[in-house]
Chains A and B, each alone.
Chain A
C-alpha cells in the first residue's frame, strides 16, 4: 500500500499508542484511534507490498506467510506458515480466505448452555453493532436472505458460486440441508473504500490465499490501513518488536524494535499488542510481562477444520472463483449431537500446491498414486468445516531453548483434540462424506486439518483468571492492550477474523473513553 505520503512521528515524540501488528486485530484499532485524532504508529514485522505485484503462484506467495519457525507438538500438531500465519502490512489478511460468518449467539455462552467450554465476558448483542460496521466498511458480499439470521443484510450481493459451491448446493438440496451463498469479504461489485482505494469487483481468479492483486478481497492494506494513514497514522514496515520499556510503576513508556538491522525506540503512551495468538503471547512470555494470571500461553485453540474431497465426472476446475462460496449453518447445533457446540460447513476449492501438500501429508499418497491424484486435479471438489474447539489445559504455548535471530525464544505450540473435538469431527466427517456421496463423488477421502490460531491471552472479568478485560486491556499493565485472536476465551464455530475486527473497534472505542 502507499505509505509515501503518510505522516511521520519522531521516535522521541510520545505518541498516544504504538500498535504492534497490522492484521485484523491491529488495523481497525489504528484506524479508529487515528480517526479520533490520536497520534498512532503501527510497527509491522513484515514488508510493505504492492498488491499488483503478487504473482498467482503458491511458491512466490511465501513472501506473505510468517515463516519464522514455530514448534508444533501435541496429539494434533497444527501447521503454521501458509496454513494460518501471515506477514507484511496487512498481516494474515493478505492471505486469509475472507470467509466472514458471524458467530452464533449460543457460542458466546457455551458453558451456560452445555456445562462445557467457557462463557465469554460479553454477548453477541455487545458485538452486533460492530459486526455491522465492519461488514459495511470492508465490503462483505453475501446472501440477500441469510437463512439462519433473517434480518441480516449484507452490503453487496453474493460472489458467483464456483464448481465446488454448486456441487455442495446440489448435495445439500438432495439431503435436506439449507445452504446459502457465503458471507465473503470480497467485493462482488466495484466498491469505493471509505477514505481508501477504489476496489474493482472480484475477477474470480481464485488466488485469495496467495495475495489479491486487485484489492477485491478485503485485506487490511486496502481497507482499515489506508483509512488510518489518511487520518494521520504512521505505519513502519519491517519493524520487529522485541522489547517494551517500562517506568518505575510498570507502565510502558516505549517500544523497542529492530529495523534495518538496528534497534530503535518509539516513545508512547500506550501499546496495542496485535501480533496474533502465537506472537502476542510469545513476546509477553519472552519479556515476562502481564502474566500475573499465569494465563499467557494457555488455552491455545485451533478450529477443527476437517475436509472431505471427492472426484467428479465433469471438470470442476476448482481454482476458479472465490474458493468458499457456499455455507450451511445447519450444524451449529446438530440435532442429537453427542458434543458441545457445533460447526459451519463450507464448499472448498484450493490451488494445486495446497491440494498436493494435503494429499502428500495427510492422505499419505506418494509414487504413482500421488501422480494419479494430481492428474485428476481439474475434477476435484472439496467441502470442509470450521468447528468449535473447547479450551483445554494441555493445549498451550510455551517457549523453548531455541532462539530466533533477535534472541527471542521460539514458541512451542502443543495442541490436541479432546473428546468433544473428536466427536464433533466424527459427526462432521460422516455428514460431509454423505453429502459428497449424494453429489455423486468418487474416490472420497478425508483430510484432517486444524485451522486458525486462537486463545493464549484470554479475556475475562478478573485478573486472576484472565490476561485482559472484555475490552482487551491488560489487568496488570494499564496502558497495555491486546487486540487479536489471542483474547478469545473459546474458539466459537465461526471463522475468527470478523470477530477480531469487531473486537478491535470495540476495544479502540473503550481506549478513547479510558480513564
Chain B
C-alpha cells in the first residue's frame, strides 16, 4: 500500500440543484481540510451568470479552481454538482493543466453521467412552479426541500436557508437542468476514471440512492467506495454534515489504491512455461495474457455502463477467473474479429452484445432492481431465466433482444468468456494441462517442418514426470 504523496490541501465543493456554495458550509465546519465551495452558474451568488449545461458549468468551475491554484485537491459534487465533478475529473485525467492536482473525488447522492432517472411526473411538477407567483414558489420550494430529506432538517433555520437558496436560483438555470442538463449523456465522455472516489448515498433517496449509484455511477470509477447513510434522503450535506465530513476526511487520508495483482501462476506451472518444453511463440503469448489488468481500462467498443454489465455477467459465468475477461471481450468486439459465424437470428456480434446487456438490465429493472445492484444469487436467477429462453424483456428505448435471442446471445457470451478464460495460463494451470509442454522449439527444416520436438512419450497411461498436476484447491480470493 502506498500513501498519497500528500493529503489534498483543498476540498472544492459543488452544490445540488437549488443549492449554493452555502450548502457545503455545514460539512466544511467539520472538516480540517479547507473547503472552497462554489456557486454554479444560475445559483447562489452566481445566479446572474449564464451557461447552464454541464460543460459550461464545468468551465466555470475549472476557471475558479485555476484561480485558486491549489496543489493537491479533492473535488466533491452533490447531486447535480456530482455530474459536473465527473466531467471535470475526466478533464483532469486527460491532462487539463488547471485541474492537474485532482487527487480524490467525492460524489454525494450524485447525478450519474448517464441521463438521470427522474420520473416524468416529478420532472413536470418541478417545472410547473418555478415561474409561479411568489407565494406558490415559496410553498413549493419548501415542499421540494422536504421531499428530498429523510427527516426534517434541524434546526429549522437550516431548512429556511435551503428554501432561500432555491428561491434565489435563476429559473432559467433550474429549468435548464431539469429539461436538459440532467438528461445530457456523459456516459461515454466520462469513461472510466482512475481518481479514487467516495460515493455517498442516502438510504431513503428515491432516485439517486445506493441502487442508482451502483447501476449508473460505479461503472465509471476504477477505484471507489460506497457509504450509505441510513435514514438519510438526498440532501446529505444538510442532513448529515458531521457524518459526511467524517467520511470525506477518511477518504482524503486513505492510501492510494493498490493495483490488484493478476492471478498467481503456480510455481510448477510457471516453471513449465519458462522451460524448453514450451515453444517461444507460445511462451510469449502466455506471458502477455498474464499481464495485470488496468482497473481503469477505457472500453473501446462498449460504454462504461455496458462494460460494467458485461463484467458482472462474466463474473457469474466464470467466477474464479481472477482476471478481467470483460475488457478482453470489449477489445475483441472493437477489433471486429469474428469466430467465423453467428446465429442468423442475432444481429452482428457487437450489436448483439450491446442489445443483450441492455436487455438483461431492462428485464432486471422490470423485476425491481438494476442488474448491477443485484447480489450474485439475484443475478444468477436472471441469467438462468435468460438461458432457458424465458426472460421477459420490456419495451426499451434502444435496440434489445427478445427472450429467444437473449438465450442465443447468452450462449455466445458463455463461449466467448471461456475462450478468453482458457487463453490465460492460470486456467491451464488449474486443470493441470500438459499439452503446452509437448512442443519445445526443435529445429525447422528446409520445408518449414519442426524436427526434434519431444511430444509425448506415450499417448495413454500414467503421465510423464514433467506433466503438471491439476490445482486441487483454490486459495485465492475468487472475486471478479
Contacts and interface: CB of A to CB of B under 8 A. Distances in A.
Are the chains A and B members of one assembly?
yes
Contacts of A2: 446-448
Interface string B436-480: 101100101111111101111011111100010011000000000
B281 interface: yes
B225 interface: no
B318 interface: yes
B460 A162 contact: yes
Contacts of B442: 52, 213
Given A351-B435, A364-B387, A367-B380, A69 B340 contact: yes
Contacts of A321: 456, 459-460
Nearest to B339: A81
B419 interface: yes
B453 A203 contact: yes
A402 B338 CA distance: 15
A447 interface: no
Interface in A52-79: 52-53, 55-60, 62, 65-74, 77-79
Contacts of B343: 71-73, 77
Contacts of A315: 462-463
Contacts of B337: 62, 67
B5 interface: no
Interface stretch (A254-262, A299-307, A369-377, A483-491): A369-377
Given A70-B340, A72-B342, A361-B411, A352 B422 contact: yes
Q: Which label, helix, strand, loop or mixed, suits the secondary structure of the A interface?
A: loop
Contacts of A196: 447
Contacts of B341: 69-72, 78-81
Interface in A178-227: 196-200, 202-207, 213-215, 222, 226
Contacts of B460: 160-163, 165-166, 316, 320-321
B123 interface: no
Contact of A206 (B281, B286, B435, B470): B435
Interface in B224-265: none
Contacts of A412: 344
Contacts of B467: 317
Interface in A76-100: 77-82, 85
Contacts of A124: none
Nearest to A414: B344
A73 B319 contact: no
Given A166-B460, A207-B435, A60 B285 contact: yes
A57 B430 contact: no
14 contacts: A1-B447, A1-B448, A56-B279, A71-B342, A81-B338, A82-B340, A160-B459, A162-B460, A199-B449, A206-B435, A207-B435, A320-B458, A366-B414, A378-B433
Interface of A: 1-2, 49-53, 55-60, 62, 65-74, 77-82, 85, 159-163, 165-166, 196-200, 202-207, 213-215, 222, 226, 315-317, 319-322, 325, 351-353, 356-357, 359-361, 364, 366-368, 370-371, 374-375, 377-378, 402, 412, 414
A60 B281 contact: yes
Top 5 nearest A-B pairs by Cβ distance? A81-B340, A203-B455, A321-B459, A73-B344, A197-B447
A424 B77 CA distance: 67
Nearest to B283: A55
Nearest to A59: B423
B392 to A, nearest CB: 20
B347 to A, nearest CB: 10
Nearest to B428: A352
A104 B449 CA distance: 35
Contact of A377 (B415, B423, B433, B454): B433
A103 B179 CA distance: 73
Given A71-B344, A81-B339, A320 B456 contact: yes
A55 B434 contact: no
B211 interface: no
A448 to B, nearest CB: 12
B375 to A, nearest CB: 14
Nearest to B451: A200
B418 interface: yes
Given A80-B341, A322-B459, A356-B418, 18 more contacts: A55-B282, A56-B439, A57-B285, A66-B340, A70-B342, A72-B341, A79-B340, A197-B445, A203-B454, A214-B449, A215-B447, A215-B449, A319-B434, A325-B459, A352-B431, A364-B411, A375-B470, A414-B344
Nearest to B437: A56
Contacts of A374: 422, 427, 430-431
Given A68-B338, A71-B341, A360-B417, A56 B470 contact: no
Contacts of A69: 338, 340-342, 348
B269 interface: no
B301 interface: no
A69 B436 CA distance: 29
A375 to B, nearest CB: 6
Contacts of B444: 50, 52
Interface centre among A52, A196, A325 (most CB of B within 10 A): A52
B435 A367 contact: no
A67 B470 CA distance: 33
B345 interface: yes
A238 to B, nearest CB: 17
